[in-house]
Amino acid sequence: MGIFDKQSGAASQQTTTTVIAAGCDIQGEFKLSCDMQVDGIIEGTLKLEKGLIVSRSGSIKGEIWADKIIVNGQIEGVCRANAIEILDKGVVSGSIYCDNLSIDRGGKFFGTTHPAETQHVVEFTPKGKTDMKKAEQPASEKKPVEQKLKKAQ
């Protein structure tokens, strides 16, 4: 398909992956609506709408929200995901909030596991609005959720 094809104005059907290459050492807060692969080093907060892959050379220190996390490198911190898979060379140290955790033979996990926090869902909204959404709850339960949300940010 060429640049000037009739379909050029249509939304892209391709998937995008952000790659942090080996040799990159970065710090900060990341909010992505695409997949991410980490071959380098990241220190900070990652909020991903899709999946995260940490390769053998990859290392993350911080707090992670993602749909799915696959680890073959190192993560130190807090992971919140729908599914987490620690591969044979993967090492995770810290807290995991997930209901679907698998660890391959050789993979290592040091820390604590907790059930998934259903009241926190990463959502990408236009600037000026919040990027965390609370699940609907009775009025009597809203105060603790608001306190948890403040702590998470």
Assess contact for 27 and 44: CB atoms under 8 A. Answer: yes
SS3 130: coil
Confidence class of residue 56 from pLDDT cuts 50, 70 and 90?
very high
2: number of Cβ within 10 Å: 7
Q: What is the pLDDT of residue 147?
A: 45
Determine the pLDDT at residue 117: 78
Spatial distance between the Cα atoms of 47 and 65, rounded to a whole number of angstroms:
5
pTM: 0.69
- Bin 62: left if φ > 0, else alpha if -120 < ψ < 50, else beta: left
The pLDDT value given to residue 136: 43
* Burial class of residue 135 (count of CB atoms within 10 Å of its CB; 0-12, 13-18, 19+): exposed
**Mind listing the pLDDT tens digit for each residue in 16-50?**
899 999 999 999 999 999 999 999 999 999 999 99
In the predicted structure, residue 118 carries a pLDDT above the cut 80: no
Tokens at residue 13, please?
């059907």
Q: How confident is the model over 53-74, as a mean pLDDT?
A: 97
pLDDT reported for residue 145:
43
Q: Give the residue, 15 or 10, on which the prediction is more confident.
A: 15
DSSP states along 60-125: EEEEEEEEEEEESSEEEEEEEEEEEEE-TT-EEEEEEE-S-EEE-TT-EEEEEEE---TT-EE---
Percent with pLDDT over 90 in the chain: 63
Distance CA 105, CA 6 (A): 51
Residue in 94, 92, 54 with CA at minimum distance from that of residue 70: 54
